[in-house]
């Protein structure tokens, strides 16, 4: 009874955060890894979860035929719409102030004059009420400290300052060698990982702010010794001990609250901004719906699928929905489809239970996919974020894919 009540309360907290908030203000999946995994070609049509829209813009730089950015949370799509509106109508310098620095003193005026007219009605409704996200305030001075994950980033940044570690941690990003970086991190590690931070990382509220539902927490706790707190420690250690930080804009913005010109996503670099302005953004089509709904009704064959960690969310209490989603993926896929996904767990063995219908016959899902294990393991080690337990690349077997005229 106690367990059921705890799970119910946890799910209600997560639903409240996820439905009423902009959860992700920046993407935490490394597109440099994804580019290698997907091998995006000009003939590809990509279906992906929008998240904060950074990676949709990154993929657009490779000029695929089409990118469908799909999210059930309309606020995430509103953020991508705002970025596209900025690319269409602003200079690079002003665009970087907004999405690089995360703030612009007269943003409300710029929004009304240049950006609003390029947005859908739903996105207009959202940003009409949230122009303050880009205006500096005492406690949340940047957009990257806004939204639910931004709130956690703000707390983390203030925590680092209280500990007096701001200068040392920012210095990690300037180290000339991995050895120098490792030595500096080792000298401050015990100050950062104290009992308080371990306790906070075990709270359902903390995980909900970061967009992690209880079903995903279960994937970690059932597979990883030490549960969530140890997983977080090991992930941070892996980044700061084993990954050169000189181009790691993911952790930089989370700690600092703003990007630098040399430490930022590709869409925030001048030459790429111009490329997107000159046609790249036309490749992106935004849809607000569940993935299953989109795949069920999709009339365009999809050759590349980017599922993020979405399946973790459905793995325990919505297994039928997960099975249904995979059926729709197969039905709308191109004959050369490739699918990538991530998991908080060390494996996604729950996929072994899924069956799909192929030519009217029920078959195990995994028998219809060719896993690229060697490539996925190699790329997982190159990932600059390191907040996932595992990474997967799978090719759809051609004999069951829909033939395309």
> Residue 328: inside a domain, yes or no?
yes
| pLDDT attached to residue 61 | 98
| pLDDT attached to residue 212 | 73
Instruction: Evaluate whether 352 touches 366 at the Cβ level (below 8 Å).
Output: yes
Confidence of residue 329 (pLDDT cuts 50, 70, 90): very high
Q: How many domains does the chain have?
A: 1
Name the token pair of 46: 């990509």
DSSP labels for 153-192? HHHHHHHHHHHT-HHHHHHGGG-SSHHHHHHHHHHHHHHH
Q: Which domain holds residue 316?
A: 10-400
| pLDDT attached to residue 13 | 52
> Residue 1: inside a domain, yes or no?
no
> Residue 351: inside a domain, yes or no?
yes
> Residue 3: inside a domain, yes or no?
no
What CA–CA distance (Å, rounded) separates 312 from 216? 5
Name the token pair of 338: 């490739």
| pLDDT attached to residue 349 | 92
Question: Mapping DSSP to helix (H, G, I), strand (E, B) and coil, where does residue 137 land?
Answer: coil
Among 215-224, 247-256, 378-387, the range scoring the smallest mean pLDDT is: 215-224
> Residue 292: inside a domain, yes or no?
yes
> Residue 386: inside a domain, yes or no?
yes
> Residue 171: inside a domain, yes or no?
yes
pTM of the full structure: 0.91
> Residue 4: inside a domain, yes or no?
no
């Amino acid at each position: 009874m106690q367990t059921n009540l705890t799970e119910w309360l946890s799910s209600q907290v997560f639903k409240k955060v996820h439905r009423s908030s902009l959860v992700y203000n920046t993407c935490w999946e490394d597109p440099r890894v994804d580019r290698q995994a997907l091998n995006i070609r000009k003939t590809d049509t990509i279906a992906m979860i929008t998240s904060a829209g950074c990676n949709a813009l990154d993929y657009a730089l490779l000029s695929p035929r089409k990118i469908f950015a799909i999210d059930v949370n309309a606020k995430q799509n509103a953020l991508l719409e705002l970025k596209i509106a900025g690319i269409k109508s602003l200079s690079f310098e002003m665009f970087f102030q907004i999405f690089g620095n995360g703030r612009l003193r007269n943003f409300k005026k710029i929004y009304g004059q240049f950006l609003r007219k390029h947005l859908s009605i739903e996105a207009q409704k959202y940003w009409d009420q949230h122009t303050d996200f880009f205006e500096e305030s005492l406690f949340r001075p940047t957009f990257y400290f806004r939204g639910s994950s931004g709130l956690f980033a703000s707390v983390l940044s203030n925590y680092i300052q209280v500990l007096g570690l701001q200068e040392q941690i920012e210095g990690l990003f300037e180290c000339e060698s991995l050895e120098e970086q490792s030595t500096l991190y080792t000298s401050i590690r015990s100050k950062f990982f104290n009992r308080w931070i371990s306790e906070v990382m075990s709270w359902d509220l903390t995980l909900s702010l970061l967009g992690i539902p209880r079903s995903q927490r279960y994937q970690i706790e059932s597979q990883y010794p030490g549960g969530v707190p140890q997983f977080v420690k090991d992930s941070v250690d892996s980044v700061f001990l084993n990954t050169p930080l000189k181009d790691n804009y993911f952790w930089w913005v989370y700690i600092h609250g703003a990007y630098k010109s040399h430490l930022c996503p590709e869409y925030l670099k001048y030459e790429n901004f111009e490329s997107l302005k000159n046609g790249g953004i036309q490749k992106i089509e935004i849809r607000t719906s569940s993935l299953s709904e989109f795949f069920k009704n999709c009339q365009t064959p999809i050759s590349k699928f980017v599922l993020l960690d979405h399946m973790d969310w459905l793995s325990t209490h919505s297994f039928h929905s997960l099975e249904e989603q995979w059926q729709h993926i197969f039905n709308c896929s191109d004959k050369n489809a490739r699918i990538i996904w991530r998991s908080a767990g060390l494996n996604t063995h729950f996929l072994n239970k899924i069956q799909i219908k192929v030519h009217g016959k029920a078959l195990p899902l995994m028998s219809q996919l060719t896993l690229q294990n060697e490539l996925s393991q190699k790329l997982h080690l190159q990932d600059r974020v390191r907040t996932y337990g595992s990474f997967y690349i799978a090719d759809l077997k051609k004999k069951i894919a829909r033939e395309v005229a």
